[in-house]
Amino acid sequence: MSAKVALVTGGAKRVGRAIVEKLADAGFDIAFTYLSSQAEAAALEHALHKRGRRAMAIRADLTQPESAPTIIFDSCRQQFDRIDLLVNSASLYLPGKLRATTMEMMRKVAAIHVQSPLLLVQKFEAMLRQSRGHVVNMIDLLAERPWPDYLIYCASKAALGNLTLGLARELAPEVTVNGIAPGVVEWPPGYPESEQEKYLKRVPLGRAGTPEDVANLVHFLATEGSYITGQIIRLDGGRSIT
Ligand SMILES: NC(=O)c1ccc[n+]([C@@H]2O[C@H](COP(=O)([O-])OP(=O)(O)OC[C@H]3O[C@@H](n4cnc5c(N)ncnc54)[C@H](OP(=O)(O)O)[C@@H]3O)[C@@H](O)[C@H]2O)c1
């Protein structure tokens, strides 16, 4: 039987990359998407091949839901005849208070956080049911504690959380669908140290999370979590209880 296959969106860098690496170490073959990180994607694909994994980097703009899910599906089908895990991790961390928010910004975050994840699940539904697979959606603690500086980012992540629950019901009993809501697991580039310290004072475990913390949880949900579905798991060092 061929190895299990995971598809990870936004897999070339940061958290998505850690998920890819963990799953590859665990024996999954990998398809992952990227948009602007072409060099990182090519290097990662090469490294996965060297480790003996089948791997495919797919360029797709997930703010274009009319085309991106089809490009991803068609590319995957060229190399893989099964999909066991879909991780929707690609994201647009788009700042914008009420007055600064435009139609175009709303369109983009809705497309990448809601429409494309839904359409990817639609495309891969039969394969996921066939493999008794798993979907993991990357949400955000900010979905339940919205930050006005990132108004529509937060709202679109909340919508993804709701979609996670709806899909969990729709795809049961063959497929589990869960979400991960991180606090901070990798700081945005250039995030001021004083702000980091302020945030960490409110984290009972006293540190930021790591991309590997996320990757370990994704791996658990895809291998051991067969009785877990429709859950949004906070991965926040306890930030949500302070
Ligand atoms: N980092 C954290 O502490 C944290 C906290 C809470 C939630 N999360 C969630 O966890 C997930 C991973 O976090 P992260 O910090 O690694 O995310 P990120 O760096 O903000 O974004 C991940 C990837 O999304 C891709 N992307 C951006 N625009 C795209 C588009 N139009 N089409 C396709 N792909 C696009 C980028 O790919 P390219 O580089 O190839 O352009 C990027 O590498 C995200 O869903 C995020 O919202 C993260």
Confidence of residue 2 (pLDDT cuts 50, 70, 90): confident
C-alpha to C-alpha distance for 118 and 219, rounded to whole angstroms: 21
Instruction: For ligand 1, pick from 91, 107, 191, 235 the residue to mutate: most ligand atoms within 8 Å of CB.
Output: 91
Enter the tokens of residue 88. 């929707």
pLDDT tens, residue by residue, 18-54: 999 999 999 999 999 999 999 999 999 999 999 999 9
C-alpha to C-alpha distance for 43 and 25, rounded to whole angstroms: 16
- Ligand 1 neighbours by CB, cut-off 6 Å: 10, 12-16, 34-37, 60-63, 89-93, 112, 138, 140, 182, 184-186
Q: Which CATH code for domain 5-93+114-143+157-241?
A: 3.40.50.720
For the whole model, what pTM was predicted?
0.98
The one catalytic residue in 150, 153, 191, 199 is 153
Domain spans of the chain? 5-93+114-143+157-241
